Amino acid sequence: MSPLRTPDSETLLTTIKACLQNGDRFLEETYDLEFRDPPASRYFIVMIAQEEFAKAFIIYLIREGAMPFTLSVLRAINDHVCKQLIGMVMDYMIMHWDEIDEMRALIAKDFAAGDALPNDVGSAIEILRYERIGRWESGSWIWAEDPEYDPSALAVANGKRDRRKQDSLYVRIGRDGRVCSMPTTITEQETQEELERARRYRGFVNSLLEAGERSERFRKAMAAIKLLFAGRREGASKEQG
């Protein structure tokens, strides 16, 4: 196996742009499927596009020094669940709303939270760091006290979002041999929602490549990522297998 080489900033920038370009290609291909019913194939491609944009963001984090370039982080770049967990962080940083009242509620919520992250976002970062990358780094892992992760982040970590993506392609068979799910369960509404999410991801990463003011949400999430990847959480113990 060839040794891992720490890439320079220009190399990482080129990689980010390649991921963005490939994500764009996926989104363009969805237009050929726009009027297909059910929209399952389109949904699957949209989800893959999201993961390419999330991959670009992980590379950005490495380039900014928020994450190290290690074998375990490289594995995370190619892991569907890790990219979906990063997507939760991206959703928070983007701060999307449809109505003015929603925007006001988000601002009020952020003000009340102070420097703290929402439970789902904080849990997504911690699960990524400790339950995915951390467990790949060590032979075994033991917590002094079991962490209390947010249920929505746990659902993503346990594969709920990825199973929905797989359900858009395959007939899922249950333990009794009966059909549990078919691609026909994918709706046009959820496909459109995920398409808009993918477009937000693309715009977000593109904006990071430009000089400009960063949001307070961006600052808080970046600080948390840097802190967790700088050292090990207090209270956790690790045993080498």
Q: In this predicted model, what pLDDT tens digit does every residue of 20-29 receive, in sequence order?
A: 999 999 999 9
Measured CA to CA, the distance from residue 146 to residue 235 in angstroms comes to: 10
Confidence of residue 40 (pLDDT cuts 50, 70, 90): very high
Region 105-118: what's the mean pLDDT?
A: 75
Q: In this predicted model, what pLDDT tens digit does every residue of 160-179 receive, in sequence order?
A: 999 999 999 999 999 999 99
Burial of 126 (0-12, 13-18, 19+ CB in 10 A): buried
Among 35-39, 60-64, 137-141, the range scoring the smallest mean pLDDT is 137-141
Among 49-63, 92-106, 118-132, the range scoring the smallest mean pLDDT is 92-106
CB 81 within 8 A of CB 153: no
Burial of 232 (0-12, 13-18, 19+ CB in 10 A): middle
Assess whether the previous peptide bond of 38 is cis (omega < 30° from 0): yes
For residue 32, give every residue at least 6 positions away whose Cβ sits within 8 Å of its Cβ, in sequence order, or none.
Answer: none
- pTM here is 0.89
